[in-house]
């Protein structure tokens, strides 16, 4: 099934769910005795989180799945869900058999679920949109985009890191202002189970639920900068897709390469399919003893993935796309015709040539849309050994200035050079 094009009224997104009635029953039996044990402890935690959640949800008049019903509570505590087929459900999760190398078997942390639980988001969102028709399209009539990014709540370890983050958020604000895109920059730790690369999952989910008017949630890493301020996403291409990410089919599905796509920048349609993907994805990343095992599994499953590297969102998504192809693949658009994400090493030395030969608006080789400083770790200062901190610093400045010149010219100024923070009248 394909989702309707974005021009059709109301939200749309299709799922190819698998019937799992029998498996659920079997798992229910297995879980029954565990449930009894955790119910008491769970009730306490649940009471606390429920209050917070229902507050958020009632403010938005959005219903989550477990509104007070005790069967739903039991399911929640048991980590069961009626609408989510598991990754490998033949063997019950007993906490022992965690790592199955052959084929596509991987035991994930199914006791973890992102909140709020919602299974009828498409309906809820459609209703909301029909009640708030003025909220839907942007001024330009295009499907509404909502950009989210985030950084840690505490100061950076590297003294230059905070200055860099400031520049990076200014850069995003500039792009969003020019293109009428709403932006949310988060600095709070939303979910203790979703740390480091995984913070984007609860954040993207929260943004979807809080912004039913947004058709697309656009995630962008804090270390990715817009370098083409004129380029606009070709959203009309993505009418049949729910996830758009920079990558290549052959690398993801044939080579199963860890770098076959990059999760630093992606678009996710605001729909139930996406909430389901986030759930399946989060199960691979939830903090806990499984994380190391899953990391080992991903390294054995994928090519070009480092050894001794804990489960990461990028590896997990490539795994999911391969292991559950029927469920996800048809809705994922791997974009490589422009730099939705652009690896900085390949781009930064070409900036002068871009300026000499072209102009902003192409987004591709001629003038890259996004330059992503992968591995520079500007905030932590733990720069990947492959690059020198100096090279990172210098090129971040160049990328920033390349973008900033496109803004400053509106006000009649430009940078003396890409290396310089000094500006001159045009
Ligand atoms: C599953 O995730 C939860 C939440 O982070 C964590 O407490 C638990 O230890 C994890 N379980 C395993 C087996 O990794």
Using DSSP's 3-state secondary structure scheme, residue 359 falls into coil
Q: Identify the residue with better confidence: 224 or 87.
A: 224
Residue 67 has a pLDDT of 46
Q: Which of 166-180, 187-201, 380-394 has the lowest mean pLDDT?
A: 380-394
Q: Is 288 in the pocket of ligand 1 (CB under 6 A)?
A: yes
**What is the rounded average pLDDT of the residues 359-363?**
98
Residue 27 has a pLDDT of 57
User: Residue with structure tokens 């947004």?
Assistant: 214
* Structure confidence at residue 153 as a pLDDT band (50, 70, 90): very high
183, 247, 307 from 222: Cα distances, Å: 13, 19, 25
Residue 292 has a pLDDT of 85
* Structure confidence at residue 3 as a pLDDT band (50, 70, 90): very low
**What is the rounded average pLDDT of the residues 145-172?**
96
Q: Is 189 in the pocket of ligand 1 (CB under 6 A)?
A: no
DSSP state of 114: -
- Report the chain's C-alpha Rg in angstroms: 22
C-beta of residue 5 within 8 angstroms of C-beta of residue 239 = yes
Q: Is 376 in the pocket of ligand 1 (CB under 6 A)?
A: no
CA distance 292 to 352: 43
CATH number of 80-222+235-337: 3.90.550
* Structure confidence at residue 53 as a pLDDT band (50, 70, 90): low
Q: Is the pLDDT of residue 142 over 80?
A: yes
Q: What is the mean pLDDT of the chain?
A: 82
* Structure confidence at residue 244 as a pLDDT band (50, 70, 90): very high
Whether the bond between 135 and the residue before it is cis, its omega within 30 degrees of 0, is: no
Alpha-carbon dihedral 219, 224, 228, 231, rounded to 10 degrees: -10
* Structure confidence at residue 55 as a pLDDT band (50, 70, 90): low
Q: Whose CA is nearest to atom 9 of ligand 1?
A: 288
User: Residue with structure tokens 């019903």?
Assistant: 69
- Residues contacting residue 49 through CB under 8 Å, at least 6 positions apart: 115
- Residues contacting residue 79 through CB under 8 Å, at least 6 positions apart: 31, 93, 110, 111, 112, 113
Residue 40 has a pLDDT of 54
Q: Which of 41-50, 278-287, 373-382 has the lowest mean pLDDT?
A: 41-50
DSSP string, 134-172: GGSS-TTSSPPEEEEEE--SSPPSSTTHHHHHHHHHHHH
Q: Is the pLDDT of residue 315 over 80?
A: yes
DSSP state of 257: B
C-beta of residue 89 within 8 angstroms of C-beta of residue 268 = no
Q: Is the pLDDT of residue 98 over 90?
A: no
Please state the atom number of ligand 1 nearest to the C-alpha of residue 289. 14
Q: Is the pLDDT of residue 189 over 60?
A: yes
135 Cα to the center of ligand 1, angstroms: 39
Nearest residue to 42 (alpha-carbon basis) of 142, 113, 104, 148: 113
Residue 381 has a pLDDT of 84
291 Cα to the center of ligand 1, angstroms: 8
* Structure confidence at residue 417 as a pLDDT band (50, 70, 90): very high
26 Cα to the center of ligand 1, angstroms: 22
Q: Where are the domains of the chain?
A: 80-222+235-337, 339-426
Q: Is the pLDDT of residue 422 over 60?
A: yes
281 Cα to the center of ligand 1, angstroms: 14
Nearest residue to 192 (alpha-carbon basis) of 19, 377, 49, 372: 49
108 Cα to the center of ligand 1, angstroms: 10
Please state the atom number of ligand 1 nearest to the C-alpha of residue 192. 5
Q: Is 302 in the pocket of ligand 1 (CB under 6 A)?
A: no
**What is the rounded average pLDDT of the residues 17-21?**
44
Q: Is 406 in the pocket of ligand 1 (CB under 6 A)?
A: no
Q: Is the pLDDT of residue 180 over 80?
A: yes
C-beta of residue 85 within 8 angstroms of C-beta of residue 17 = yes
Q: Identify the residue with better confidence: 115 or 34.
A: 115
Q: Left (φ > 0), alpha (ψ -120 to 50) or beta: where does 42 sit?
A: alpha
Q: Is 287 in the pocket of ligand 1 (CB under 6 A)?
A: yes
Strands (E), 233-352: 243-247, 261-269, 332-335
Q: Is the pLDDT of residue 140 over 80?
A: no
Q: Whose CA is nearest to atom 4 of ligand 1?
A: 193
Q: Is 251 in the pocket of ligand 1 (CB under 6 A)?
A: no
Q: Is the pLDDT of residue 97 over 90?
A: no
Most confident of 40-44, 74-78, 306-310: 306-310
- Containing H/E element for 370? strand 370-372
Phi, psi (rounded to 5 degrees) for 339: -90, 80
Q: Which of 64-73, 122-131, 303-312, 353-362 has the lowest mean pLDDT?
A: 64-73
72, 121, 186, 282, 353 from 118: Cα distances, Å: 12, 6, 22, 15, 49
Could you read off the pLDDT of 56-70 as tens digits, one per residue?
555 556 777 754 333
Q: Is 112 in the pocket of ligand 1 (CB under 6 A)?
A: yes
**What is the rounded average pLDDT of the residues 276-298?**
89
279 Cα to the center of ligand 1, angstroms: 14
Please state the atom number of ligand 1 nearest to the C-alpha of residue 193. 5
Q: Is 361 in the pocket of ligand 1 (CB under 6 A)?
A: no
């Amino acid at each position: 099934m394909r989702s309707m094009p974005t021009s059709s009224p109301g939200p749309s997104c299709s799922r190819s769910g698998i019937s799992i009635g029998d498996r659920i029953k079997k798992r229910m039996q297995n879980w029954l005795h565990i449930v009894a044990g955790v119910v008491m402890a769970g009730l306490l935690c649940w009471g606390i989180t429920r209050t917070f959640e229902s507050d958020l949800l009632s403010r938005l008049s959005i219903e989550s799945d477990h509104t007070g019903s005790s069967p739903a509570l039991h399911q929640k505590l048991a980590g069961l869900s009626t609408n989510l087929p598991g990754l490998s459900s033949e063997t019950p999760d007993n906490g022992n058999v965690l790592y199955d190398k052959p084929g596509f078997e991987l035991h994930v942390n199914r006791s973890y679920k992102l909140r709020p639980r919602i299974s009828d988001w498409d309906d809820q969102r459609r209703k909301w949109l029909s009640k708030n028709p003025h909220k839907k399209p942007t001024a330009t009539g295009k499907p509404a985009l909502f950009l989210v990014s985030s950084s840690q709540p505490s100061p950076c370890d590297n003294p230059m890191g905070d200055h860099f983050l400031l520049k990076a958020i200014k850069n995003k604000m500039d792009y969003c202002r020019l293109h009428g895109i709403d932006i949310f920059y988060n600095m709070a730790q939303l979910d203790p189970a979703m740390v480091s690369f995984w913070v984007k999952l609860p954040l993207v989910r929260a943004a979807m639920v809080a912004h039913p008017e947004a058709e697309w949630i656009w995630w962008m890493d804090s270390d990715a900068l817009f370098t083409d301020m004129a380029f606009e996403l070709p959203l009309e291409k993505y009418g049949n897709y729910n996830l758009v990410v920079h990558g290549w089919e052959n690398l993801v599905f044939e080579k199963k390469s860890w770098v076959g796509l990059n999760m630093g920048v992606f678009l996710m349609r605001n729909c139930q399919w996406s909430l389901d993907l986030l759930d399946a994805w989060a199960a691979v990343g939830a903090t806990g003893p499984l994380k190391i095992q899953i990391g080992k599994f991903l390294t054995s499953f994928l090519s070009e993935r480092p050894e001794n590297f804990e489960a990461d969102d990028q590896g997990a998504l490539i795994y999911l796309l391969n292991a559950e192809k029927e469920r996800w693949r048809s809705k994922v658009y791997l974009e490589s015709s422009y730099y939705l994400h652009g690896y900085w090493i390949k781009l930064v030395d070409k900036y002068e040539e871009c300026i000499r030969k072209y102009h902003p608006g192409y987004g591709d080789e001629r003038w890259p849309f996004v330059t992503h400083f992968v591995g520079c770790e500007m905030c932590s200062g733990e720069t990947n050994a492959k690059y020198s901190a100096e090279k990172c610093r210098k090129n971040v400045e160049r990328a920033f200035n390349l973008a900033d010149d496109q803004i400053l010219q509106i006000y009649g100024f430009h940078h003396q050079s890409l290396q310089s923070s000094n500006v001159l009248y045009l």
